[in-house]
Amino acid sequence: MNAIIALCHFCEFHGPSVLFCTQAFHCEAHDPLKEACTSASECGACIKRNSTHFASDTQESSSSCDSWASSRPTQCEACKSLDHTHAGYISIDREAHISYYSNRSPEQPELYSVVRQACVRSLSCEVCPGREGPMFFGEETSGYVFTHTFFLKDAQSRGFQRWYSIIAVMKDRIYLVNSWPFLVSHFRELIDDLQAKATAVYDAEHAVSVQKGQHIQPSTNGYLFAPGMAPDIFRRQRGGNKTYRGIADLLGDKDLFASLHQRFSWMLKACGNRVTEKLLEGPPKEELFTDLEMQREDHLQDTNTNSQEGEVSGPIFTSLRHILKVLGSHKFHLLAFHVIQGNQVIVRGKNQKTVESILDCLKVLIPSGCCSCVPYSTEYKDSWQCNFLGLVPSVEIPPHVLSSDLFVLLDVISPPEHASEYSIGEQLSSEPDDFQGYGFVVCGKENTTDPSILQKIEEGLENANLSDAVFDQLLVCLKEEWMDKVKVIFKFARSGPSTSEDKEKLLRILGAKPEDEIVLKFWMTGLNKQYRSHLLTCSSTGSSS
């Protein structure tokens, strides 16, 4: 975490002052992406960096810290922390090649001005309700500051308390805001420890004063003074003749600053490890879960197809536009309507390749998870077994299917004279002339209202300005858009009981019409089991939080 944590104090004689601060130094020569990394004890750059703090004698360290700080006002004991002869504290993270250094002030003059300004604002300009508590302020030029102000009891101070703050200064506003809960928790924990020590010293000194008869008592007019002492005498005794104590004496802790160094260093390291940059990916598309399943099914189908050699072949369809051009808009519309609705599509014909090509082209209208295909069969398969079915001409459709509205049948009538004239090379031809002499009969329920997605698909097909590549991308985008609506409805259906008004309102929000509900329900079956589990897990997590 590239920040500085400092302890600040408001002195009644000298104003706000920085008592103690901790900052991190990263090894510039260290590359964390390298596989073979030496530890900080073996890194020459780290050794040189760390030695700058302690290799020189105490006098040199003191002069280097005071050369740029000579303009600072005269300090009393309350404004001081470490002695000028003290070189500071340092902790080394050998794995991360980071050194944590603590002293009275930052060693860089430009950082001192930033910390000094943050100290002044935290103790004089910025005030939170009750004067104690966390605050956030700052700007891009001078940095952003998180501060937590607090009081410590002191029997020798005016009002029997002293005002302090702990600040964290850094340039990254978003990082600092995201660290707010962490900093509030650990700053508050440290403040509680400091206040407990100060209260213990205060209570002990107060008990001694009571025994000597010098304790302070409230008067009838609300002022505090010792028995037999006039208020003006009390004020004179509380004046400049009496100097304040340092915070270490105030808490009765000689190792206070060593402890603060440990805690500040840990906060910098832990907060840096807590908030890290990661590549976040959105939820996987349901097609990712179904690709392997579809590939497995296609492999089985290819195996069955390859085993059936010597069958009569014919011309093939290569795209939806090809089917639209050969069959005409009315027959294509009827086929596309039943495909999108989830009804069974039956293609019956003599030429297996022709039948399979029709099914392959129509399958792109719906998500891959909604497709269950038997490309060419010698017997009828029920709709629960497959929604795309290819049949040989001799297969009869059962009466219960013919009486239903949930199917569409396309009969491909091949001319007898063309039955054996197509070679293997001619099978790849995609011109409509290849289907001269062929007949196409479509049997199915005529629809009254069309789903919205079907209207958009047909508009794209009929737009001559859209190339085949552009239309293919348009179709992909339409399917993704409607699958997102399906996922919302799936979560809504699993969220609990709902009324018809709630469902209608949701459809309006999604931009769907009542005639689109059947399409959305059918497309919901295309969600893979793993993806359904993923959506339900996200829903339960969101509701519990």
Q: What is the pLDDT of residue 76?
A: 78
**CA proximity to 434, closest of 543, 347, 353:** 353
Mean pLDDT along residues 307-318: 63
Residues 6+ apart with CB under 8 A from 106: 4, 21, 23, 112, 115
The token pair at 114 is 């930033």
Q: What is the pLDDT of residue 545?
A: 43
pLDDT > 70? residue 221: no
**CA proximity to 111, closest of 166, 53, 171:** 171
Please state, rounded to an integer, the average pLDDT across all residues of the chain: 78
pLDDT tens digits for range 132-161: 999 999 988 889 999 999 999 988 888 888
pLDDT tens digits for range 373-400: 999 999 999 988 999 999 999 999 999 9
pLDDT > 70? residue 54: no
Q: How confident is the model at residue 222 (pLDDT cuts 50, 70, 90)?
A: very low
Percent composition of the chain: helix, strand, coil (DSSP 3-state, to 5): 50, 15, 35
pLDDT tens digits for range 400-410: 998 998 999 99
Q: Is 62 or 435 the better-scoring residue by pLDDT?
A: 435
Least confident of 275-284, 328-337, 363-372: 275-284
pLDDT > 60? residue 540: no
pLDDT tens digits for range 487-528: 888 888 877 778 888 888 888 888 888 889 999 999 888 877
Mean pLDDT along residues 167-183: 91
The token pair at 277 is 């940059």
Strand partners, 169: 4, 145
Cβ proximity of 78 and 11 under 8 Å: yes
**CA proximity to 401, closest of 414, 416, 386:** 386
**CA proximity to 335, closest of 369, 367, 359:** 359
pLDDT tens digits for range 438-469: 899 999 988 778 899 999 999 999 999 999 99
Q: What is the pLDDT of residue 59?
A: 42
Q: How confident is the model at residue 97 (pLDDT cuts 50, 70, 90)?
A: confident
DSSP readout, 259-315?
A: HHHHHHHHHHHHHHHHS------PPPPHHHHHHHHHHHHHHHHHHHHHHSTT-----
Q: How confident is the model at residue 418 (pLDDT cuts 50, 70, 90)?
A: very low
Mean pLDDT along residues 107-129: 88
Least confident of 194-198, 446-450, 470-474: 446-450
Cβ proximity of 341 and 335 under 8 Å: no
Listed ranges 76-85, 96-105, 536-545; the one with the highest mean pLDDT: 96-105
pLDDT tens digits for range 313-350: 678 999 999 999 999 999 999 999 999 999 999 999 99
Cβ proximity of 138 and 144 under 8 Å: yes
Least confident of 186-190, 200-204, 299-303, 413-417: 299-303
Mean pLDDT along residues 467-486: 90
- What is the spatial distance between Cα 171 and Cα 110, in angstroms, rounded to a whole number? 13
- What is the spatial distance between Cα 174 and Cα 308, in angstroms, rounded to a whole number? 65
- What is the spatial distance between Cα 114 and Cα 283, in angstroms, rounded to a whole number? 43
Q: What is the pLDDT of residue 81?
A: 79
pLDDT tens digits for range 224-271: 444 544 544 444 444 444 557 889 888 998 899 999 999 999 999 998
Q: What is the pLDDT of residue 308?
A: 44
Q: What is the pLDDT of residue 64?
A: 40
Cβ proximity of 161 and 216 under 8 Å: no
Q: What is the pLDDT of residue 43?
A: 61
**CA proximity to 435, closest of 328, 359, 363:** 328
Taking the chain, what is the end-to-end CA distance rounded to the nearest angstrom?
Answer: 28
Counting Cβ atoms within 10 Å, is residue 164 exposed (0-12), middle (13-18) or buried (19+)?
buried
- What is the spatial distance between Cα 11 and Cα 423, in angstroms, rounded to a whole number? 100
Measured in degrees and rounded to the nearest 5, phi and psi for residue 23 equal -140, 160
Query: What is the share, in percent, of the chain residues with pLDDT greater than 90?
Result: 36
Q: Is 502 or 1 the better-scoring residue by pLDDT?
A: 502
**How far apart, in Å, are the Cα atoms of 75 and each of 19, 43, 177, 254, 545?**
11, 40, 34, 20, 51
Q: What is the pLDDT of residue 461?
A: 93
Q: How confident is the model at residue 167 (pLDDT cuts 50, 70, 90)?
A: very high
Query: What is the share, in percent, of the chain residues with pLDDT greater than 70?
Result: 72
Helix boundaries (H) for 109-179: 109-120, 173-178
Q: What is the pLDDT of residue 60?
A: 40
pLDDT > 60? residue 35: no
Q: What pTM does this model have?
A: 0.48
Residues 6+ apart with CB under 8 A from 82: 20, 88, 103, 104, 257
Mean pLDDT along residues 280-304: 49
Q: What is the pLDDT of residue 296?
A: 44
Q: What is the pLDDT of residue 223?
A: 42
pLDDT > 90? residue 26: no
Q: How confident is the model at residue 63 (pLDDT cuts 50, 70, 90)?
A: very low
Question: ∠ CA(406), CA(408), CA(410), 5° rounding?
Answer: 165
DSSP readout, 334-393?
A: HHHHHHHHT-EEEEEES-HHHHHHHHHHHHTTS-GGG--EEEEESS---TTT-SEEEE-T
Q: Is 198 or 38 the better-scoring residue by pLDDT?
A: 198
